[in-house]
Amino acid sequence: MDDAAVIAALRARDERVFAELMRMYNASLLRVALIYVATRSVAEDVVQETWIGVLNGIDRFEGRSSLKTWIFRILTNIAKTRGQREGRTVPFSALERPGAVPEAAVDADRFLPPDHERWPGHWASKPEPWPEERLLAAETRGVVERAIEDLPPAQRAVISLRDVEGWSSEETRNALGVSETNQRVLLHRARSKVRQALEDYLMEAQ
């Protein structure tokens, strides 16, 4: 179903389409809400309020952005307000200046020191190929899930939208209201940490 068809169905009060839409976006909405509010239960409230906002606004929605972008804007506004009300200093810097605090993709001690006479910055302990057959095992996926849960909220939201949900960078940028560069910084940090978690797990038994 394209946007126009979904919008028409919502305006015609088609409950089946509404239920389908919720199923499609709820997990992502929750992840994004968690950037702004502290707990899962508040984030769930925010998601509920978002859908009520969608219902209230759909008759007036003009389609200047995609439906998805519009829904996530409603969510972000509600989540920001809730976050402020909770007295939480919303980590705007996490979205607006994610590069402010340096974070290495790989520990510096895996590389030769910068003053090494022949190979400064080259691998001291290089990555070894992973056992292919274990990659898609349920246990390995569990490791990845936990690594994602452990990420800071903005990184977790970006990797969830991009790599779990399969959204494009443009869709992700629009949903979060971040620049392309910042989206990429967040994605890079998230993926790097998940890679590290996989390496720790897969190499441990070797």
Provide the binding-site residues for other proteins, judged by CB under 8 A. 11, 13, 15, 18-19, 22-23, 26-28, 30, 44, 47-48, 51-52, 55-56, 59, 104-106, 108, 111, 120-123, 126-130, 135-136, 140-141, 144-145, 148, 159-160, 163-166, 169, 180, 184, 187-188, 191-192, 194-195, 198-199
> Considering beta carbons, is residue 56 or 93 the nearer one to other proteins?
56
Distance, in Å, from the CA atom of 164 to the CA atom of 39, rounded to the nearest integer, reads 22
Distance, in Å, from the CA atom of 70 to the CA atom of 96, rounded to the nearest integer, reads 20
Helices (H), 86-124: 92-96
Minimum gap (Å) between residue 121 Cβ and other proteins: 3
> Considering beta carbons, is residue 96 or 170 the nearer one to other proteins?
170
Residues whose CB is less than 8 angstroms from the CB of residue 64 and which lie 6 or more positions away in sequence, other chains included: none
Residues whose CB is less than 8 angstroms from the CB of residue 125 and which lie 6 or more positions away in sequence, other chains included: 110
> Considering beta carbons, is residue 95 or 148 the nearer one to other proteins?
148
Minimum gap (Å) between residue 206 Cβ and other proteins: 14
> Considering beta carbons, is residue 48 or 77 the nearer one to other proteins?
48
Minimum gap (Å) between residue 42 Cβ and other proteins: 13
Give CA torsion, residues 131, 194, 170, 60, to 10 deg.
120
